[in-house]
Amino acid sequence: MSDSIDNKNTSTPSSQKQRPTLLPVDERVCSFSEVSCGYTEDQALTEAMRCLQCKKKFCTSGCPVGIDIPSFIKCIREKKYEDALGIIKQYNSFPAVCGRVCPQEKQCESQCILNKKSNSISIGLLERFVADRVSATNTSSIKISNQSEASYKDSLDNSKKFKVAVIGSGPSSLAVSGQLSKNSDIDIHIFEAFHRAGGVLVYGIPEFRLPKTIVQKEIDELCSKGVKIHLNTVIGKSISLEDLQKDFDAIYIGVGAGLPLFLNIPGEELGRIFSASDYLTRNNLMYAYRFPKYDTPIATGDRVCVIGGGNVAMDAARTALRLKSKKVTLIYRRSMKELPARAEEVEHAIEEGVEFLPLSAPVAFESDEEGIYVKRVKCIKMELSEPDASGRARPVPVPGSEFYVDTDVVIVAIGSSANPILTSSSNLSLNKRGYIETDESGATSIKGIWAGGDIVTGAATVIAAMGAGKKSARAILEYLHNK
């Protein structure tokens, strides 16, 4: 802490990046409390002072929603936090979320001129600081009920000029709704399949990375602007897309990622082998980590293997540690350098004791004597060959290098494929992989229907989904007013 005060006094642009206080490792692994405490005001001011306020805004060019970063940082320097938030919110309705979960090192921070000396401005932490700081002084009191009244039809507001249905309540849907809610003549209805709104922000990303209260605050704020959320409603099952078309002038589809991919190797159907979304949903949405106070069980064990190297794999591995596993091994087929996860998550995972087994791939799961539970993973060593279509080095198995890892639980975190529930019951044009085809603005093959986020792009980031939502919101507004 004393460091930051010294830095503030000198406030030279060459000073070092401010590090946020982190929860000590031993406290982290026995709770689900947020790991990063974010910046104190002093730290934020010091960090903001380091910004060179470049005329040419490289950082902004690296932001998927084009936030005017130098301007909001300037406001922080002047302690005008409300103004800073105002600037961010012109581009991004959910800074408290994005400040925490964006892969800044691959986006804005990678473009920062100071990054040449690996000393980029911590833009994400500053964004989070502004959002948390202002929100601490404002509180919203609207709460949504978990069980909806009779039918959405009863809550349609005919005094408003337009009606828009938003399917799903994850990042892209929230972004669309946030943008559209600025127009008082639109009646916005969100339809969510789960019993809680927020999509991947509540079922996928764990509490220790994104506290649920942060997400809830954003959702409450939307509701206070008149957005209606219908929980427990699966469009394509409970209500058809055609029925929605009758009641709404425009529809946005943001139903997110879909079916978990499995490895398709022998033994994968054994007990205690989970998809990451099963494991994480049990924990995050259903509070399985508080079993038996909460009824949803989850398998715990001394040894856990996680397969994959993305953010979801890190979330799963770090969740397993918090469920009191003694040894968590992350098996990844490429090298540490290629890990697709956010740098901070990898760093935290290593600090917390996740062991990495890079250049290895599972080839089979073997069971205990009863044949119910997984007991060990048969793996093979991999080596990297020339780059594949994705531009990443292609991993190839090393013949004869098989080895075993004993385990009690396995979590498969290797991505997802398109969910067919909504699309199979509609005439929407899909691509070969089953994702919805859209133009630049997210317009689908059906007039009046837009789509964005993972159901269009396949698994991607929260901010990319929000960016897509924002673009579609603009197109929807234009469409409504020209109707």
Q: Which residues would be at the binding site for another protein (CB under 8 A)? A: 146-152, 193-195, 231-234, 237-240, 257-260, 262, 264, 268-272, 274-275, 277-278, 281-282, 285-287, 291-299, 371-373, 419-421
Helix ranges (DSSP H) in 181-254: 200-203, 212-224, 241-247
Task: Write down the least CB distance from residue 222 to another protein, Å.
Answer: 20
* Token pair 């009920």 in the structure block, residue: 145
CA angle, 296 then 219 then 415, to 5°: 55
Nearest CA to 120 out of 130, 128, 112 is that of 112
Minimum gap (Å) between residue 258 Cβ and another protein: 6
CB of 305 to another protein, least distance (A): 17
| Alpha carbon 98 to chain centroid, angstroms | 9
- The smaller minimum CB distance to another protein, of residues 200 and 314, is found at 200
The least CB distance from residue 69 to another protein, in Å, is: 35
Q: How far is the CB of 272 from another protein (least distance, A)?
A: 7
Report the residue number, 56 or 153, with the smaller CB distance to another protein: 153
The answer to whether residues 48 and 73 touch, using CB atoms and an 8 Å cutoff, is: yes
Q: Which is nearer to another protein, 300 or 457 (CB)?
A: 300
| Identity of the residue, 70 or 170, whose beta carbon is nearer to another protein in the bound complex | 170
How many other C-beta atoms are found inside a 10 Å radius of the C-beta of residue 48? 27
Look up residue 140 and give its amino acid: S
Question: Looking at beta carbons only, is 26 or 154 nearer to another protein?
Answer: 154
Query: How many other CB atoms are found less than 10 A from the CB of residue 111?
Result: 19
- The position carrying tokens 């991505």 is 415
| SS3 category, 6 | helix
Residues found in the chain: 483
- Whose structure tokens read 């605050």? 217
The nearest distance, CB 325 to another protein, in angstroms, is: 16
Nearest alpha carbon to residue 418 among 451, 463, 467, 464 = 451
| Shortest Å distance, C-beta 436 to another protein | 16
3-state secondary structure of 40: coil
Minimum Å gap between C-beta 269 and another protein is 5
Angstrom distance (rounded) from CA 63 to CA 67:
6
Which runs of E-coded beta strand occur in 323-392? 327-331, 355-357, 360-367, 374-387
For the CB of residue 232, give the shortest distance to another protein in the complex, in Å. Answer: 4
CA 190, distance to chain mean position in Å, is 19
Nearer to another protein, 143 or 195 (CB): 195
Q: Closest CB to another protein among 301 and 395?
A: 301
| 195 vs 326 by CB, closer to another protein | 195
Nearer to another protein, 54 or 261 (CB): 261
Nearer to another protein, 198 or 258 (CB): 258
The dihedral region occupied by 200, where left means phi > 0, alpha psi between -120 and 50, and beta the remainder, is: alpha
Judging by beta carbons within 10 Å of its beta carbon (0-12, 13-18, 19+), is residue 292 exposed, middle or buried?
Answer: exposed
DSSP string of 417-440, one letter each residue: E--HHHHTTS---B-TTSPBP--T
Q: Are 349 and 314 in contact (CB under 8 A)?
A: yes
Taking the least distance from each CB to another protein, the nearer of 166 and 288 is 288
| Token pair 């317009």: residue | 443
Instruction: Decide: residue 328, CB within 10 A, 0-12 exposed, 13-18 middle, 19+ buried.
Output: buried
Measured from the CB atom, the residue of 79 and 143 that comes closer to another protein is: 143
C-alpha to C-alpha distance for 120 and 105, rounded to whole angstroms: 9
CB of 296 to another protein, least distance (A): 4
Question: Helix (H, G, I), strand (E, B), or coil: what is residue 155?
Answer: helix
Least CB distance to another protein at residue 156 (A): 14
Write down the least CB distance from residue 323 to another protein, Å.
12
